[in-house]
Structure 1
Amino acid sequence: MTGGPAENPELWAFLESLHRGEVLSGTVAAIERFGVFVALDDGPGHPVFPGVGFISFAELSWRSFEAATDVVQVGQRVSCEFLQFDTWNLEARLSLKATQPDPFQGFADTIAVGQRLPGQVTKLIPFGVFVQVADGIEGLVHLRELAWTPVDTPADVVRVGEEITVVVTEIDRERRRLSLSRRRSSSTRV
Structure 2
Amino acid sequence: MIEPSEHPELWAFLASLRPGEVLSGTVSAIEQFGAFVLLDDGPAHPSFPGVGLITLPELSWRRFEATSDVVRVGERVSCVFLQFDTYNGEARLSLRELQPDPFQAFADGVEVGDRLTGQITKMVPFGVFVEVADGIEGLVHLRELAGASVKTPQDVVAVGDTISVVVTGLDRERRTVSLSQRQISHD
Deviation at 1:33, TM superposition (A): 2.1
1:3 is aligned to 3
Work out whether 1:184 is the aligned partner of 2:183: yes
Aligned-partner SS, 1:69: helix
Work out whether 1:70 is the aligned partner of 2:42: no
2:12 is aligned to 13
CA–CA separation in structure 1 for the residues paired with 2:124 and 2:92: 33
Offset from partner CA, 1:70-118 (integer Å, 9 cap, x none): 1000000000010100111110000111111111111111111000001
CA–CA separation in structure 1 for the residues paired with 2:60 and 2:138: 18
What's the C-alpha RMSD, in Å, of the aligned pairs? 0.9
Structure 1 unaligned regions, length at least 5 = none
Structure 2 length normalisation: TM-score?
0.97
CA–CA separation in structure 2 for the residues paired with 1:87 and 1:125: 38
Listed as ranges, the matches of 1:137-176 within 5 Å are 137-176=136-175
1:88 is aligned to 87
Q: Which runs of 4+ in 1 moved over 6 A?
A: none
1:43 is aligned to 42
- Contact 2:128–2:140 (8 Å) recurs in 1: yes
CA–CA separation in structure 2 for the residues paired with 1:141 and 1:45: 47
Deviation at 1:43, TM superposition (A): 2.2
Structure 2 unaligned regions, length at least 5 = none
- Contact 2:147–2:185 (8 Å) recurs in 1: no
Aligned-partner SS, 1:101: coil
- Contact 2:32–2:66 (8 Å) recurs in 1: no
Q: Which moved more, 1:90-99 or 1:41-50?
A: 41-50
Offset from partner CA, 1:99-153 (integer Å, 9 cap, x none): 1111111111111100000111111111111111011100000111111111111
1:117 is aligned to 116
CA–CA separation in structure 2 for the residues paired with 1:49 and 1:153: 45
Deviation at 1:49, TM superposition (A): 1.1
- Contact 2:112–2:170 (8 Å) recurs in 1: yes
Corresponding letter in the other structure for 2:98? T
Corresponding letter in the other structure for 2:159? V
Counting aligned pairs with the same residue, the percent is: 70
Deviation at 1:16, TM superposition (A): 0.5
Listed as ranges, the matches of 1:99-138 within 5 Å are 99-138=98-137
Deviation at 1:44, TM superposition (A): 1.3
